[in-house]
Structure 1
Amino acid sequence: LGASAAAALAAPHVSAQTQTHAYQINAGSLGTALSLFATAANVTLSFNAEQTQGMTTSGLNGTYGVDEGLARLLAGSGLQAQRQANGAYVLVPAAKDGSLQLGATSITGQALGEVSENTGSYTTGSTTTATKLNLSLKETPQSVSVMTRQRIDDQNLSSIGSVLEQTPGINVQSPGSDRLYVFSRGLAIDNYQYDGMPTTSFAFSQALPQALSDMAIYDHIEVLRGASGLLSGTGDPSGTINMVRKKPTSTFQGYVSAGLGSWDLYRTEVDVSGPLTPTGNVRGRAVAAYQQANSFTDYLQQEKTILYGVAEADLGDSTLLTVGAEYLYNDPRGFSTTGLPMVDNKGKQLHLSRSENPASRDSTNRQESVNAFASIEQKLAHDWTLKVSANSLYGTREYDSIIVGTTTGFLNPQTGSGLSYTATKGDNTQEQKGLDVMLSGPYQWLGREHELVVGFNYQSYENRRNGFGNLLANGTSDNGVSGKPVNIYNWDNYAPNASYNFNREDDNINQWQNGVYLATRLKPTDDLSVILGTRVSNYRYDAFLHYNVANMQRFNTDDTLRVNGKVTPYAGVVYDLTPNHSVYASYTSIFKPQPYRNTSGNLLDPRKGDNYEIGLKSDYYDGRLNTAIALFEVDLDNDAIADGLVIGNDNLTAYVAKKTKTRGIDMEVSGELLPDWNLNASYSHSVVKDADNKRVKTIIPADMLKVWTTYRLPGELDRVTVGGGVNWQSAIHMTVDSWQLTAPAKVKQSDYAVANLMARYQLTPQWSATATLNNVFDKKYISSLDENFRSGSYGPPRNVMLTTKYTF
């Protein structure tokens, strides 16, 4: 390369290709940018000046590995960097099919993988949430959305609830402080996973460690919409939320951040990761976060602490051991188990201030949890892998609450009277354990290579709740507050003191399941994939609610359910129309034992049914941009429909089992439209109807549109990234029927849109500041409706968050 612009721009380094660096290279001449990059990355890059003459690049700003950084600088140039055996790089023309065919040499242009951190991307390269097969989004025959680390940071999303609010096809409702109901395709999601390990979550129990998950410790969130029974015998027909934790890194890195927001919100995070030994065979990561805040809701205060540690050890060339634990402490004040009353004593819809709090100032709901996990992964011959994973979750909850009971009557809007107090106190312990043993790898059949996954998993769940009461001499229980009238206009959130002297009720749940699963990806031709799977499950559920008061023991319930050898089949077909476009169809069987009770307190029969889905998926720019459109139908027997309260218990919701059919469409675009321009846009439509073709579950919107985009400005303004978006949803409503009303009353929230904005300024390569403005136009809207408690909650007013972050 005698006349080359650079024959050796930087000295080769043994491990340079595996390291990440922070770059700030302005848009401009491609040749100049490559020279700056090679110097900063400490690699040798050779090219002829004529190769880059007249070419420009959009620049590079952020932390990248060598391969990814070069790929981004060269995007759209028709060139790519070929890595040589000695670690140096040479620029060569890009192959027409987008890949290099260079014998034994490695290729640059690292594709997206399972980790989204430091990619700057709004999508990911692979996912295992649907089938445990390591597939790209285009290869997966179900609807999967990914909320990456970049997206989470761009919007200052710190909780699992805030992330899911932005996730395509997901509706989130919080009918009380820290309570989280998540809906997909018109159905509630109860299935949460940690790194693919299933856990159990019953929203009605209000002991929900998963719902309090903090984003400081997660790399990304994957959401599967549709049935997931292949990997979890009781998988929800609505979907699965898989929270993928951050992993240790092979090079030293970290950050410190501090944030300040509306309503006295303060938040700090520290994240440090890197090798723990000189050879790097042991790596670790530690994360800590602390947050305290008031709220737009009067007298609601929140305090949360998160600690996380994980270590990886290479026990040999083919063995990886991972151990870790996370700790969560959440201590709110002014906590309410329900929303606000929505109907007055004349049957008209109320429009209270969104700052109203139905709870007393000192109501509490302290939760603490420890989640420990470990895995060992052994590489075997012929590219097979054996992985054993275990998870243990232990949580406690202590609650002491006095609220304005929304089911105790109806408000007189002129006087403020008509309702009474509801006082509750108790404690809760929850323990979950899980084990997964998985063997995976390729095999040959009929002259072609296919993939197989076979495994066994086990789950146990124990939830123990003690509800306190005040035993009187006559043998009844009366805490002295519940049932007393309250005037909501002048109580000022000060309630009288309740009395407790014994354990009034024992509410226990034991759930246990195990199963074997198998999934294979057959490749009859290069363009056709057939995914077949099945699971055989054993399931046991025991629950009892016992009152230790003579006059309430008639309401005692004892429930037992046993299911053995339940077979859950799965089938999917993917056909590649072109290298970028594929069509698919999938079928999943549904079997879901459910803990919901009817008004008599008896368990509903398990939900059974079928999930059908067809769709078109596409990817562009080596998978950096993904699009999907899906049509689906979910047919269910024994679907749980809200039906008031269990007789004798004002705090236990009741349901009735019905046959339902859900039909709809999902559309999504996610990823990088152009360098430095990210987009996530989605539209979802789903309607649930009963056997009489009448729409049910009307508190869930039938239509949702979500759009969010960011763009890093070019040229001299390339330190600035701006973004914005809008979330729109169709109307929701519920009907309130009571003997105290002359006719059923309707509560409705019309369709509405909420706009959000962001801006980031990169002060230095390591130091940035990000500001987000939510609900820009200060829209007042009801974000959730609770049919059982006749209540509703408002979404937050306009609010701002400023976060500064220093990386190292």
Structure 2
Amino acid sequence: MPTLHDLTPLARALMLRHIFRKSPLNTAVGIALALTAVQAQAQEVQFHIPAQPLASALQELGRQANYQVLYNQEDMEGNRSSAIDGSLPLAQAVGDLLKGTNIDYRIDGNAIVFKKKTADSSAVELSNMVILSNSSGTITEDSKSYTPGTLATATRLVLTPRETPQSITVVTRQIMDDFNMDSIDEVMNATPGVSVTGVDSDRTSYNVRGFAVNNFQYDGIPSTRVATYSAGHTLTDMAIYDRVEILKGSTGLLTGTGTPGASFNLIRKKPTDEFRGHATVSAGSWDNYRTELDIGGPLTGSGNIRGRAVAAYEDGNSYLDNYEKKKTVYYGVLEFDLTPDTLLTLGGDYQDNEPTASTWGAPMIYDSNGNINKQSRSFNAGADWSSWEQYTRSVFATLEHTFANNWLGKVHLNHQINGYDAKLATASSGNPNPDTGTGVSLWTGKYVGETKTNSADLYLTGPFELFGMEHELVVGGTISRKHWDATNYTRPSTYSTSVDNYYEWDGDIAEPDWVFSRAYDEITREKGFYTTGRFSLTDNLKLILGGRVSDYRAETVSKNGVFTPYAGLVYDLTENFSAYASYTSIFSPQTLKTEQGNVLDPLEGDSYEVGIKGEFFNGRLNSNIAYFEIKQDNYAVATGNRAPDGTNAYRAEQGVIAKGYELELSGEIAPGWNLMGGYTHKVAKRDGEKVNTISPEDQFNINTSYTLPGKYNRLTVGAGARWQGKTWDEMTRPTVGTDDFTQDSYWLLNLMARYKVTSNVTASVNVNNLLDKKYVTINNNYGLYLWGEPRNITGSIRWDF
């Protein structure tokens, strides 16, 4: 029989608590209970619980030890567990799991009760954080955090940012709520390393590390944006999303085809375990009004069926004359616990964007004398009937099952429609005579089309043992079929496109009777098999190796067996820092032909990256310092001759090489003080000449908020700032020839404040471009410029229920 000295601290406490009770019967029962606890704790159990959000770890602890685990989720407050692995007594396992947390525990019979410790005056208070995790990573909603817990965008392995050997920025739900980010453009403007360039009133382009980004993912399922016609991707409303993960560098392992700059993964909101929701109304500059309703919770008494519904409607004007926009968003999702280990998810989303007086282009940079064509920020070059409607429709289903050996299998099916209905006329062709306003004509056209994409992704992932160490493996495959059906129209030959006086243009012109021009009916098929392994070479050194074999077939090009490698190495230098290196790649098929009639090999983007990542305060603060190089090969260069089919001939050459470095910091840097920020420097060159100079070489972003302490804790204040270096490109300048047009470096400053009126009602105000800075983005293809948005303000009221 063990002595009192031999007992664990918990067992001693239990025994002493009962021994010193007055009743002899209670004393006897207390001794028996304490000895039972000792015996239970002394029995060793085989544990395997990786470091993860504490709530998830506790659930896994109870399952593996066959104990009931009781806790209040609010008490988990941002804690992450330590990893435990091996045959351990229960008490030791619990103690090791809770290292570094503010959680205490006690054992009552066959239950373990966890509770937050009482903070003393020297303790650091943690942010109120409730974290849940799934196969896509950590849910950020309600975390009140500016940094993620875990994510799976890079490899399908659910890893922390520190464990991921690539730069990745996550814009959490809290950042979006604090800074009133209702659109993906606003999210990207706040993201370190992402450059947003306006093209016209309804299109923007994104650049990362010197390359345009058209790679989107929705819950990890790839979708490629065709920038020419656009179809809703860059108009995405953020009401239905938990977070946006920006994975930088080549991402071909999971996306297949694309460009090497980055991939954007938008993770949808999930149903909640308890009934909850919110309603928000807002009003802002230029008569912009928005309403939003979000409600979710269990639909059965047992909670095995849960649902969530989101609706948003936005209506307003703009700083552009005549331009108006309406946006309608719906989202619904259901989760079914078919068994304790099997989850079925069904959902769908819907968005309509209906603008009026859309532009197709912007003001031209130069007048006919070669001087700057200065137009007011409110000048709208579009006709009053011009409209670029875009819409998206999605339905999806996932089935995931956790096996007894901790392996997970998941099937994800997705049907998505991206459509557009654009009838356009814009006074943007030519250079106006500064004296008469003549010399300008309209660009006109009507384009109607939609892309229907059916995708499926199936994978298995889980741990395995080899050479006495535990490793992780992912094996999966994807298949997709994309059908683009479109019709283009043109104006009749009798329709005049001449603008009498450009400086008196007000958009009042008749719409033409459109004439059929061309129809498209194209099908693109892709399929791929991918695998990734995370190997523990030592306790501190992890190697990630993977690859993808892809088949691609379109109307004019077919490529089979394209191999896309992935390799990463992460070494834990200290408790807080890890060094990493990675190599990733991606490819993009081409339709251009050589002089012999052969299709050019796919563009290949290879990314190399090294860096140091930091993780502090149990993962509540993350940092990253990275150096990167990206090489895009098989770049198409015109030969000046013709291919056998009469089209222009090209040859493939070494392409663009981009180099640079990034510094990022995100999370809670002090109690109540959150921050996401970073600095990026990149230079992209081809044959020694700089390219893509319309995106800045240097860029700094920061968004930060602070909740006041003590009796002032109802108030949260914050600020966002963005600085970018100069941008420029070579333009054709009348009377001069070619010349560089430059936008000098500039700062933009945003402010926010939020006040908790009651426990359920919150009032907020957001000011963008506080200093009303005037700046432009450049459309280098057509010699146009687009003004950035002037100072604007939005006030909102939110009711949580």
| 1:627 partnered with 2:642 | no
Which residue of 434, 450, 463 corresponds with 1:413?
434
**C-alpha separation in 1, matches of 2:570 and 2:694:** 35
The one-letter code matched in structure 1 to 2:506 is D
| 1:606 partnered with 2:602 | yes
**C-alpha separation in 1, matches of 2:284 and 2:77:** 34
Q: Which moved more, 1:716-725 or 1:228-237?
A: 228-237
Please tell me whether the aligned partners of residues 727 and 754 of structure 1 are also in contact (alpha carbons under 8 angstroms).
yes
Corresponding residue for residue 343 of structure 1: 366
Corresponding residue for residue 797 of structure 1: 790
The one-letter code matched in structure 1 to 2:388 is N
**C-alpha separation in 1, matches of 2:593 and 2:420:** 23
**C-alpha separation in 1, matches of 2:223 and 2:651:** 23
1:334/1:93 CA distance change after superposition, 3 Å: closer
Which residue of 769, 775, 778 corresponds with 1:775?
769
Cα RMSD of the aligned pairs, angstroms, is 3.0
Pairwise CA distance, 1:479: 5.6
| 1:430 partnered with 2:451 | yes
Q: Which runs of 5+ in 1 are unaligned?
A: 8-16, 20-42, 46-63, 99-107, 471-476, 543-559, 644-653
Please tell me whether the aligned partners of residues 202 and 388 of structure 2 are also in contact (alpha carbons under 8 angstroms).
no
Please tell me whether the aligned partners of residues 422 and 481 of structure 1 are also in contact (alpha carbons under 8 angstroms).
no
**C-alpha separation in 2, matches of 1:396 and 1:109:** 38
| 1:66 partnered with 2:75 | yes
Which residue of 576, 579, 585 corresponds with 2:581?
585
Which residue of 329, 335, 346 corresponds with 1:323?
346
| 1:732 partnered with 2:727 | yes
Which residue of 676, 697, 702 corresponds with 1:707?
702
Q: Deviations over 1:353-373 (max 9, x none)?
A: 111111011111222321111
Q: Deviations over 1:409-449 (max 9, x none)?
A: 21223332221012212311211111000110011111111
Pairwise CA distance, 1:451: 0.2
| 1:754 partnered with 2:777 | no
Q: Deviations over 1:102-154 (max 9, x none)?
A: xxxxxx99688610000000011111111111110000000000000000000
Q: Deviations over 1:326-384 (max 9, x none)?
A: 01111000111212211221223333211111101111122232111111001123111
Which residue of 771, 775, 785 corresponds with 2:778?
785
| 1:137 partnered with 2:161 | yes
Q: Deviations over 1:27-58 (max 9, x none)?
A: xxxxxxxxxxxxxxxx999xxxxxxxxxxxxx
| 1:481 partnered with 2:496 | yes
Which structure's CA Rg is the greater one?
Answer: 2
| 1:460 partnered with 2:481 | yes
Q: Which runs of 5+ in 2 are unaligned?
A: 1-12, 22-53, 57-69, 82-97, 124-128, 640-649
Corresponding residue for residue 763 of structure 1: 757
Which residue of 102, 116, 127 corresponds with 2:140?
116
- How many pairs were matched up? 698
Please tell me whether the aligned partners of residues 732 and 783 of structure 2 are also in contact (alpha carbons under 8 angstroms).
no
Corresponding residue for residue 683 of structure 2: 687
Aligned partner of residue 655 in structure 2, secondary structure:
strand
1:499/1:280 CA distance change after superposition, 3 Å: same
| 1:400 partnered with 2:393 | no
Please tell me whether the aligned partners of residues 218 and 244 of structure 1 are also in contact (alpha carbons under 8 angstroms).
yes
Corresponding residue for residue 249 of structure 1: 272
Please tell me whether the aligned partners of residues 754 and 764 of structure 2 are also in contact (alpha carbons under 8 angstroms).
yes
| 1:722 partnered with 2:717 | yes
Q: Deviations over 1:287-306 (max 9, x none)?
A: 00000110001111000000
Q: Deviations over 1:648-673 (max 9, x none)?
A: xxxxxx99976211000011000000
The one-letter code matched in structure 2 to 1:291 is E
Q: Deviations over 1:598-623 (max 9, x none)?
A: 9xx99875212421000000010110
The one-letter code matched in structure 1 to 2:797 is T
Please tell me whether the aligned partners of residues 343 and 747 of structure 1 are also in contact (alpha carbons under 8 angstroms).
no
Pairwise CA distance, 1:76: 13
The one-letter code matched in structure 1 to 2:722 is N
1:792/1:641 CA distance change after superposition, 3 Å: farther
**C-alpha separation in 2, matches of 1:452 and 1:157:** 36
Which residue of 377, 382, 389 corresponds with 2:400?
377
Q: Which moved more, 1:437-446 or 1:657-666?
A: 657-666
| 1:540 partnered with 2:553 | yes
**C-alpha separation in 2, matches of 1:805 and 1:444:** 50
The one-letter code matched in structure 2 to 1:672 is E
Pairwise CA distance, 1:174: 1.9
| 1:531 partnered with 2:524 | no
Please tell me whether the aligned partners of residues 360 and 443 of structure 2 are also in contact (alpha carbons under 8 angstroms).
no
Please tell me whether the aligned partners of residues 540 and 563 of structure 1 are also in contact (alpha carbons under 8 angstroms).
yes
The one-letter code matched in structure 2 to 1:761 is Y
**C-alpha separation in 1, matches of 2:354 and 2:345:** 30
Please tell me whether the aligned partners of residues 347 and 744 of structure 1 are also in contact (alpha carbons under 8 angstroms).
no
Q: Which moved more, 1:614-623 or 1:729-738?
A: 729-738
1:375/1:188 CA distance change after superposition, 3 Å: same
1:584/1:360 CA distance change after superposition, 3 Å: same
**C-alpha separation in 2, matches of 1:292 and 1:574:** 48
**C-alpha separation in 2, matches of 1:803 and 1:640:** 50
Corresponding residue for residue 13 of structure 1: none
Corresponding residue for residue 284 of structure 2: 261
Pairwise CA distance, 1:80: 3.1
1:89/1:512 CA distance change after superposition, 3 Å: closer
Please tell me whether the aligned partners of residues 200 and 461 of structure 1 are also in contact (alpha carbons under 8 angstroms).
no
Q: Deviations over 1:678-730 (max 9, x none)?
A: 01110001111012x11011111101001111000112211000001210000
Please tell me whether the aligned partners of residues 712 and 722 of structure 1 are also in contact (alpha carbons under 8 angstroms).
yes
Please tell me whether the aligned partners of residues 116 and 220 of structure 1 are also in contact (alpha carbons under 8 angstroms).
yes
Which residue of 646, 666, 671 corresponds with 2:667?
671
Which residue of 126, 137, 145 corresponds with 2:150?
126
Aligned partner of residue 318 in structure 2, secondary structure:
coil
Please tell me whether the aligned partners of residues 451 and 484 of structure 2 are also in contact (alpha carbons under 8 angstroms).
yes
**C-alpha separation in 1, matches of 2:157 and 2:676:** 25
Which residue of 467, 478, 497 corresponds with 1:446?
467
Please tell me whether the aligned partners of residues 750 and 766 of structure 2 are also in contact (alpha carbons under 8 angstroms).
yes
Corresponding residue for residue 494 of structure 1: 508
Aligned partner of residue 153 in structure 1, secondary structure:
helix
The one-letter code matched in structure 2 to 1:250 is D
1:641/1:293 CA distance change after superposition, 3 Å: farther
| 1:153 partnered with 2:177 | yes
Aligned partner of residue 133 in structure 1, secondary structure:
coil
1:201/1:760 CA distance change after superposition, 3 Å: same
1:138-217 to 2 correspondence within 5 Å? 138-206=162-230, 208-217=231-240
**C-alpha separation in 2, matches of 1:333 and 1:327:** 20
Corresponding residue for residue 799 of structure 2: 806
The one-letter code matched in structure 2 to 1:807 is D
Please tell me whether the aligned partners of residues 71 and 80 of structure 1 are also in contact (alpha carbons under 8 angstroms).
no
**C-alpha separation in 2, matches of 1:273 and 1:638:** 50
Please tell me whether the aligned partners of residues 78 and 93 of structure 1 are also in contact (alpha carbons under 8 angstroms).
no
The one-letter code matched in structure 1 to 2:276 is Q
TM norm structure 1: 0.82
Pairwise CA distance, 1:758: 0.4
Pairwise CA distance, 1:465: 2.2
**C-alpha separation in 1, matches of 2:255 and 2:738:** 40
